[in-house]
Amino acid sequence: MRPTFSPELVNQPFGDPGLYVDFTFEKRALLFGLGDLTALPPKKLLRISDVFVSHTHMDHFFGFDRLLRICLGRNKAMRFYGPPGFAAQVGHKLAAYTWNLVENYPGDFMIDVWEVDAGWQACGTRLRCRNRFPGEPLEPLQLQDGVLRDEPAFRIRAAFLDHGMACLGFAIEEKMHLNVWRNRLAELGLPVGPWLKEFKDAVMQNAPDDTPVRACWCDRNGEHERVLALGALKAEVLRRVPGEKICYITDVAFHQGNVQRITALAADATQLFIECVFLEQDADHAARKHHLTARQAGSIAREASAKQVIPFHFSPRYAGREALLRAEIKAAWAGLP
Ligand SMILES: [Zn+2]
Ligand SMILES: [Zn+2]
């Protein structure tokens, strides 16, 4: 099965937190966290369509300027999502610069900032470069069950967590995963290619069975096209399997309320990216900082039945002792004492 998403941490685990999620079949990516982004080349930054910010502590928001700088002057639109106060904070960042020459820029960069509250009301603000980024209000949205985005193939869900302040956790939930039987495709004389994505998209959107599917390809004998009925092709070459779930949890205190909300969000996650800031021996310090220990992160991953756990956001105090953090979270995830 070829996964739809390729998630990778932006930095090594002692660096600023952040998760870059590339789409395997599209020129598109999602970004979770806006910490130090210097590791991401412009090409990767320009693929980003949506940015999800858990909270605005500096290590999660300081990279905004780099993203802005790369996008300025381009015809590009992005959506940003964040907790209460987020739209004003993005506005303050933009207000720190002088924008008197932007009318001459070749393209118009635009950000729609969506700020959500605990009742899942989302207030939107549009910020346009050509207008020097004044905030234009968008129609507010009432979100259902924390779903920030609902697309045909996947949804992004958030949970309100506590870090001594409101902090969002996120999950990408693929609605279903469609596997193509390559040997059956070959038996029909059809090669793989971009046409398969259009075919899968049509299936995701529940298009009628008589919808024509155009398979186009080129080989040394020239260009080819065959038109097939969606229903027949679907029955012949596709298999539905449960979709992936990728969860990103960072900067959270360890207490019952948070544990319940995280385990609900991350239940059966294919991959759980979770902060792992301190060792259990420093649990008092972790509590004062509203962060998790490795043991606590591992126990949450176990309770959520996560299939894979990827720790990050290691405290610099453990430089050179990374293996201890990794061993502790792994043991707790496996249920070892
Ligand atoms: Zn924080
Ligand atoms: Zn942090």
pLDDT tens digits for 39-98? 999 999 999 999 999 999 999 999 999 999 999 999 999 999 999 999 999 999 999 999
Ligand index nearest the alpha carbon of residue 16: 2
Q: Report the separation in Å between the CA atom of 15 and the middle of ligand 2, taken as the mean of its atom positions.
A: 10
- pTM score: 0.91
Q: How many CA atoms, within 13 angstroms, populate the side-chain half-sphere of residue 273?
A: 26
Ligand index nearest the alpha carbon of residue 253: 1
Residues with CB under 5 A from ligand 1 (ion): 57, 251
In this structure, the number of other CB atoms found within 10 A of the CB of residue 252 comes to 28
pLDDT band at 25 (very low <50, low <70, confident <90, very high): confident
User: What separation, in Å, do the N-terminal and C-terminal C-alpha atoms of the chain show?
Assistant: 35
Going by C-alpha positions, the residue among 61, 53, 49, 46 that lies closest to residue 16 is 61
- Confirm if 264 and 299 have CB atoms less than 8 A apart: no
SS3 311: strand
Q: Report the separation in Å between the CA atom of 69 and the middle of ligand 1, taken as the mean of its atom positions.
A: 24
Going by C-alpha positions, the residue among 213, 200, 202 that lies closest to residue 240 is 200
100 forms beta bridges with none
Ligand index nearest the alpha carbon of residue 275: 2
Q: What is the DSSP letter of 134?
A: P
Which residues are CB-contacts of 106 (< 8 A; sequence separation ≥ 6)?
Answer: 73, 74
For all residues of the chain together, what is the average pLDDT? 95
SS3 298: helix
Q: Report the separation in Å between the CA atom of 29 and the middle of ligand 1, taken as the mean of its atom positions.
A: 24
For tokens 């996120």, the residue is 170
pLDDT at 116: 98
What is the rounded distance in angstroms from the CA atom of residue 180 to the CA atom of residue 199?
A: 11
Q: Report the separation in Å between the CA atom of 57 and the middle of ligand 2, taken as the mean of its atom positions.
A: 6
Which residues are CB-contacts of 45 (< 8 A; sequence separation ≥ 6)?
Answer: 37, 66, 67, 70, 71
Q: What is the pLDDT of residues 188-227, one digit of tens each?
A: 999 888 888 889 889 888 899 999 999 988 888 899 999 9
Ligand index nearest the alpha carbon of residue 55: 1
Q: Report the separation in Å between the CA atom of 75 and the middle of ligand 1, taken as the mean of its atom positions.
A: 32
pLDDT band at 177 (very low <50, low <70, confident <90, very high): confident
What is the rounded distance in angstroms from the CA atom of residue 188 to the CA atom of residue 182?
A: 10
pLDDT band at 1 (very low <50, low <70, confident <90, very high): low
